Amino acid sequence: MEGLTRAVRAYQAMLTVGIPKHLHWKVMDRKNIFSRFGCVTSSTTMPEKGLENLTVADVLMTKGEDKTGSWLWCRTNDTVYDAVNNMAKNNIGSLVVLKPEEQHIAGIITERDYLRKIIAQGRSSKYTRVGEIMTDESKLTTVTSDTNILQAMKLMTDNHIRHVPVIDGKIVGMISIVDVVRAVVEQQNKELKRLNEFIGGEYY
């Protein structure tokens, strides 16, 4: 988390002073960097709204229409083994946990839960239920779709978490710290481009 935060700050500093054309990221370079953190990048670009107006809903939309309103989940009575296999299969770091036979959220299970409560304690993932090691709903940090993206980033960094469910009465999606960072970088990159065009005389 600290390394990711430092990387974002370094990139923000570069944006402040301007970036020569020959140093701009290539699209493929950015995709490779974000894919290292388990974030599925999309060809859908972020709307240029400014960070003060950008919301979690905008971030969800960039995942593509087929991903909007969908999420990967498990149930409290599933085995940790099955949940971890699901995470590995989909290259993600967390799953929303639902109550048995219901669509109500019960909590969240993450890679960190698996490492600390299964591996570190020598427990069997095949005989342990997700409900035994998940972060309970009462302790769960969530956002709504109209939460400002900077507020979401602050919430995640202050609480040292990488994944946050998006709940509008019911769960509508999931965002990661990488989703948030990508959104911030894209907005700042567009703002820098607009300023460079202004300086270059394309504006009257």
Could you tell me which residues come within 8 angstroms of residue 50 by beta carbon, excluding any fewer than 6 positions away? 187, 191
- Specify if 106 maps to a domain: yes
Inter-residue contact 84 to 177 (CB < 8 Å): no
- Specify if 3 maps to a domain: no
pTM of the model: 0.63
**110's tokens:** 């993450």
pLDDT digits (tens, 9 = 90+) for 17-43: 443 333 333 333 434 433 333 444 444
Whether the pLDDT of residue 2 is over 70: the answer is: no
- pLDDT of 19 reads 37
- CATH number where 152 lies: 3.10.580.10
Q: Which domain holds residue 66?
A: 56-197
**8's tokens:** 């974002």
Report the distance separating Cα 163 and Cα 176, nearest Å: 4
The count of structural domains within the chain is 1
Report the distance separating Cα 116 and Cα 113, nearest Å: 5
